[in-house]
């Protein structure tokens, strides 16, 4: 180990001067060092210390073994010599080394500027990110317009899409999501009931847990939690599917056939979420109520019948309608975010990852904003009476 | 479509696709500029040039996937980019494309891939479509592979399946993006023979992007040569003639593998 970490470079190099203006470098031993590059500095020190030297030459013992490390060492040395106008005589090197050095020198170094990974300053990065955001807005609007047109074609029966695939998507989006939606909304209902009941118990008003859990779950939280789950599940899947199709040129194949990717790919996905989200939201609300019952009966000594009656009194049609309407709206937003990012995807594996991330972020942000805006709007419209 | 245009001196040679003053750019970066050439009916037209010179990009401009920075693409007398969506649709219906890696729709079987254009754009019944699908698959040497998914096939088989899909609607023009890339020499040669056969028996105009010399000389009877450094075309014509007679050393060097 010590030999690898601290090899004796001195024993590998030896210097002599066949005449006053020439430095001959003798290479010895093994130049196949593991993990370590032999330093070129000792030679450079030697060269810069004597001003007489005008050229360097090499000699090496037949037993000297070498690999790329020797080549790197030599090319560094040659570069130094070129910069300092020293002549390099390579005759003493093994023939293979000379050929490889010539080959490396023969291809010109082209300073290619890649689109990525340039080291901008923080300020200019913030600036260009902002510009990108602003530049992305028309694309998003165009996409929205195109999907509206596609909806119109669907309604008038002119859209081309694959019915079998639509049902497959529908199943992926809806029934397949039931386990996770059940789990999350059950636990959220549980937390809500427990936290609410602890407060209400102080006034002896535990019975109002039913109102709290029922209205909150059916009207707001059921759809919101469902939307967040579906963004991570389905929105991400949409972006990854369409992004991969973009990478494989499958979307180009649709375009060249004159089949609109909007009709064929985006519309079934949008429609599937629009159909499934209100149902999933409703289901989440009901599961939340069940969690409320379990907590109330087991922890706060209410009877199932009492809780059931109180829930019926608390909930009316408006609550269900608002919850399902919100679910539908979130479904539209999630589907558009997922499909937009997928269609915009670049042509690499990394781009698919970015598209997926971006679909989830865009989806969640737009869902939460929509949730706040609709809540305030409905209240201003006087649709927030509780009884 | 089949009527002879009286403007042409030679009635046998009809311009099928005409590229006029075409410039292509990604944002501000010009890829190629001032391209002018004509692809005649029945040609096997090769778009060639070194790696990264914009061959595939040019193909994407011809098939309507990318809008030219300036210039025009004519299909016979229709200016593609000045046509309305209906005419563009009609023009697209007249050609088929085989993409570099096949671009088969991965969620569908081979049969569904090939049946899709047929069921979308023809009035054929399911039974007739399935017969046509089997026939096209047999033509490309994939008989019996109807129920395979693209992911279950090798790269070469995917390419051939993609050709079967491109031929589904019996197009007048077939575009190939790197037909021989990734194929072993024998498969590449069989594909070349298939391309020649399609031209000879169906009169299909073929446009292929490739830099494989063997293929270029076997099938090509017309070509355009794109140069990376000057970012424009530096030769057009029969590749064999260009190899022997071109005065441009870059063209001769390319077509002779660097040996003068």
Establish if B237 touches chain A: CB-CB under 8 angstroms: no
Question: What is the rounded CA–CA span in Å between residue B48 and residue B208?
Answer: 9
Instruction: Report the residue of chain A nearest B177, measured CA to CA.
Output: A249
Identify all chain B residues contacting A255, using CB atoms and an 8 Å cutoff. 64-65
Establish if B114 touches chain A: CB-CB under 8 angstroms: no
Query: Which residue from A162, A250, A259 is facing B103, i.e. has the nearest CB?
Result: A250
Give me the mean pLDDT over the A221-250 stretch. 95
Identify all chain A residues contacting B93, using CB atoms and an 8 Å cutoff. 258
Assess contact for A285 and A213: CB atoms under 8 A: no
Q: What is the pLDDT of residues A305-350, one digit of tens each?
A: 999 999 999 998 889 999 999 999 999 999 999 999 999 998 889 9
DSSP assignment letter at B75: E
Q: How close does chain A come to B158, measured CA to CA in Å?
A: 12
Question: In this model, does residue A28 exceed pLDDT 80?
Answer: no
DSSP state string for B72-88: EEEETTEEGGGS-HHHH
Helix (H) or strand (E) holding A66: strand A65-66
pLDDT number for residue A33: 64
Assess contact for A193 and A292: CB atoms under 8 A: yes
DSSP assignment letter at A218: I
Q: Which of A250, A342, A347 to mutate to test the interface with B (most CBs of B within 10 A)?
A: A250
**Mean of all residue pLDDT scores within chain A:** 86
Q: Which CATH number fits domain A2-106: 3.40.50.970, 3.40.50.1820, 3.30.750.24, 3.30.70.2860?
A: 3.30.750.24
Q: Where do the CATH 3.40.50.300 domains begin and end in chain B? A: 15-94+172-184+202-260
Q: How close does chain A come to B9, measured CA to CA in Å?
A: 33
Identify all chain B residues contacting A160, using CB atoms and an 8 Å cutoff. 120
Place of tokens 């790269």: B155
Question: What is the rounded CA–CA span in Å between residue B39 and residue B173?
Answer: 10
Question: In this model, does residue A111 exceed pLDDT 60?
Answer: no
CATH class of B15-94+172-184+202-260: alpha beta
Q: Where do the CATH 3.30.750.24 domains begin and end in chain A? A: 2-106
Q: What is the edge-to-edge ordering of all strands in the sheet holding B205-209?
A: B95-98, B173-177, B205-209, B44-49, B222-227, B232-236
Q: What is the pLDDT of residues A136-176, one digit of tens each?
A: 788 888 988 988 888 888 888 877 788 888 999 999 999 99
Assess contact for B68 and B33: CB atoms under 8 A: no
Q: How close does chain B come to A81, measured CA to CA in Å?
A: 32
Identify all chain A residues contacting B103, using CB atoms and an 8 Å cutoff. 248-250, 252-253
Q: What is the pLDDT of residues A53-103, one digit of tens each?
A: 888 888 877 666 778 878 888 888 888 888 888 888 888 888 888 888 888
Assess contact for B132 and B180: CB atoms under 8 A: no
Cβ of B99 and A249 within 8 Å?
A: yes
Question: In this model, does residue A290 exceed pLDDT 50?
Answer: yes
Identify all chain B residues contacting A252, using CB atoms and an 8 Å cutoff. 60, 65, 97, 99, 103
Establish if B99 touches chain A: CB-CB under 8 angstroms: yes
Residues lower than pLDDT 50 in chain B: 1-9
Q: What is the pLDDT of residues A339-378, one digit of tens each?
A: 999 999 988 899 999 999 999 999 999 999 999 999 999 8
Query: How many angstroms separate the Cα of B231 from the Cα of each of A285, B18, B29, B50, B226?
Result: 63, 19, 11, 11, 7
pTM, 2 dp = 0.78
Chain-centroid distance, C-alpha A303: 48
pLDDT number for residue B182: 79
Question: What is the rounded CA–CA span in Å between residue A294 and residue A273?
Answer: 31
CB atoms within 10 A of CB A22: 16
């Amino acid at each position: 180990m010590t030999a690898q970490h601290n090899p004796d470079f001195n024993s590998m190099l030896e210097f002599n001067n066949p005449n006053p203006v020439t430095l001959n470098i003798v290479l010895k031993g093994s130049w196949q060092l593991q993990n370590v590059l032999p330093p070129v500095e000792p030679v450079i020190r030697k060269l810069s210390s004597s001003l007489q030297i005008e050229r360097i030459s090499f000699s090496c013992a037949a037993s000297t073994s070498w690999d790329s490390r020797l080549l790197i060492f030599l090319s560094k040395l040659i570069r130094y010599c070129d910069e300092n106008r020293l002549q390099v005589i390579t005759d003493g090197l093994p023939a293979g080394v000379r050929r490889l050095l010539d080959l490396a020198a023969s291809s010109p170094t082209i300073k290619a500027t890649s689109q990525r990974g340039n080291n901008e300053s923080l300020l200019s990065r913030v600036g260009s990110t902002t510009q990108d955001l602003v530049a992305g807005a028309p694309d998003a609007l165009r996409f929205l317009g195109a999907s509206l047109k596609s909806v119109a074609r669907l309604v008038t029966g002119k859209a081309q899409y694959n019915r079998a695939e639509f049902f497959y998507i529908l199943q992926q989006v809806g029934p397949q999501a039931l386990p996770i939606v059940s789990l999350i909304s059950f636990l959220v209902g549980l937390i809500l009931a427990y936290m609410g009941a602890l407060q209400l118990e102080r006034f002896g008003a535990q019975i109002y847990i039913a109102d709290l859990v029922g209205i909150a779950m059916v009207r707001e939280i059921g759809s919101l939690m469902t939307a967040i789950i579906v963004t991570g599940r389905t929105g991400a899947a949409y972006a990854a599917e369409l992004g991969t199709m973009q990478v494989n040129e499958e979307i180009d194949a649709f375009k060249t056939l004159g089949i609109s990717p909007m009709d064929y790919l985006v519309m079934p996905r949008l429609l599937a979420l629009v159909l499934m989200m209100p149902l999933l939201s409703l289901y989440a609300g009901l599961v939340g109520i069940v969690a409320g019952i379990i907590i109330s009966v087991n922890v706060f000594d209410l009877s199932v019948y009492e809780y059931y009656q109180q829930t019926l009194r608390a909930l009316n049609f408006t609550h269900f309608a608002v919850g399902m309407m919100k679910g539908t709206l979130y479904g539209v937003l999630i589907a558009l975010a997922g499909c937009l990012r997928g269609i915009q995807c670049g042509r690499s594996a990394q781009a698919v990852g970015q598209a997926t991330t971006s679909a989830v972020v865009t989806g969640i942000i737009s869902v939460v904003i929509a949730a706040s805006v609709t809540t305030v709007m409905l209240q201003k419209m006087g649709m927030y009476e509780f009884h | 479509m089949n009527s002879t245009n009286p403007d042409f001196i030679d009635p046998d040679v009809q311009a099928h696709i005409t590229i006029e003053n075409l410039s292509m750019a990604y944002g501000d970066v010009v890829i190629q500029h001032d391209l002018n050439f004509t692809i005649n009916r029945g040609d096997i037209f090769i778009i060639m040039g070194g790696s990264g010179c914009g061959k595939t990009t040019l193909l994407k401009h011809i098939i309507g996937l990318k809008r030219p920075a300036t210039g025009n693409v004519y299909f016979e007398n229709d200016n593609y980019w000045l046509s309305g969506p209906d005419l563009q649709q009609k023009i697209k219906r007249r050609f088929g494309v085989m993409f570099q890696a096949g671009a088969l729709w991965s969620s569908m079987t081979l049969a569904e891939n090939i049946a899709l254009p047929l069921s979308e754009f023809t009035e054929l019944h399911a039974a007739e479509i399935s017969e046509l699908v089997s026939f096209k698959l047999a033509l490309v040497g994939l008989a019996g592979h109807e129920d395979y998914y693209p992911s279950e096939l090798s790269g070469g088989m995917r390419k051939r399946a993609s050709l079967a899909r491109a031929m589904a609607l019996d197009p007048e023009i077939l575009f190939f993006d790197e037909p021989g890339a990734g194929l072993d020499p024998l498969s590449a040669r069989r594909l070349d023979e298939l391309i020649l056969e399609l031209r000879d028996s169906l009169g299909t105009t073929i446009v292929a992007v490739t830099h494989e010399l063997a293929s270029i000389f076997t099938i090509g009877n017309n070509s355009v040569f794109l140069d990376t450094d000057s970012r424009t075309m530096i030769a057009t014509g029969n590749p064999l003639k260009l190899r022997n007679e071109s005065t441009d050393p870059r063209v001769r060097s390319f077509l002779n593998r660097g040996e003068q």
